[in-house]
Amino acid sequence: MANSDNSNARLKYIGPKDLGNLILPTFCPRCFWYERHYGPFPARFPGIFTVLDGVSKKSVYRSFQTRKKLPDWLNLPSVKRRVLLDEIGAVQNFQNRKYLIALHKRSGWYLRGAPDSVFELENGTLHIVDFKTARFTSKQDELYPLYEVQLNGYLLLSSKYPVSKLSLVYCEPKQELKDDIKFNLEFEAKIVDVDLKPNIIPELLMKAREIVDLEKPPEAIPNCHGTCYYIDKIIDNEVKKKES
């Protein structure tokens, strides 16, 4: 299997959120193998959610710069200050952004990720927060195991400080526009605490390594009618045409 520089990087570095996919019941090892060897499939979600998550992050940043405290919309208890990534773990600059990074020797993966916000609490421990622009519905509940892995990955990467709290902050759009003159959509924050379970990370890193080390992509999920199902059908038809 020929590997480009990009695929070499994809076989070396993994983000806590990508790792979280492995725990979902819908996880497909074949997809994962293809993505790691050849690059990600086109995004299924429009980039607007990433933009809105960035708005929440910037609001927290500005509030600490100007008022030395959380913005009023984010009601987290006992927060003393906002903490920079350099203070809490080993940091790598990648594509103009800072990431926490650590090598898991057994699997050979570098776990690399950047939490949205990290706060030091009054008792000297850390509270790690990730923003999600979504309403907290049963669908979000289904994704909870993925987010649990994501936040616990950040916990492991924060090696210089004890972490006592992990939270998802759902920024939910309110139902109605405030007025009909300007398009001012309001959001409210719903905070969901996440269990501290750092022990789930090493076994998922080992599982990810086992899959990508396979010589060939694993079998398709039975009854999956996604991309590879149609590619296989096209190949079958071409073979039949040539044989007839």
List contacts with ligand SF4 (CB under 6 A).
28, 30-31, 220-221, 224, 226-229
Closest separation in Å from C-beta 152 to ligand SF4? 25
Closest CB 26 distance from ligand SF4, rounded Å: 8
Residue 217 tokens, joined: 């992509």
Q: Closest CB to ligand SF4 among 11 and 221?
A: 221
Least CB distance to ligand SF4 at residue 101 (A):
29
Considering beta carbons, is residue 61 or 230 the nearer one to ligand SF4? 230
Q: Which two tokens stand for residue 153?
A: 């990955």
What DSSP designation does 91 have?
E
Which residues partner with 23 through β-bridges? none
Structure tokens at 124: 């000297």
| Alpha-carbon gap, residue 68 to 4, rounded angstroms | 46
Length of the chain: 244
Query: Closest approach of Cβ 11 to ligand SF4, in Å?
Result: 18
Looking at the Cβ atoms of 28 and 88, the one nearer to ligand SF4 is 28
Minimum CB distance to ligand SF4 smaller for 54 or for 226: 226
For Cα atoms 10, 211, 107, give the angle at the middle one, nearest 5 degrees.
Answer: 70
For residue 172, the minimal CB distance to ligand SF4 (Å) is 30
**Which residue, 189 or 228, is less far from ligand SF4 as judged by CB?**
228
Q: Which residue is nearest to ligand SF4 (CB)?
A: 226
Nearer to ligand SF4, 26 or 137 (CB): 26
Order across the sheet with 91-94: list the strands.
Answer: 13-14, 109-113, 97-104, 91-94
Q: From the CB of 162, what's the least distance to ligand SF4, in Å?
A: 39
Helix (H, G, I), strand (E, B) or coil at 34: helix
- What single letter denotes the amino acid at residue 136? F
Based on DSSP, count helices (H) and strands (E) in the chain, helices before strands: 8, 9
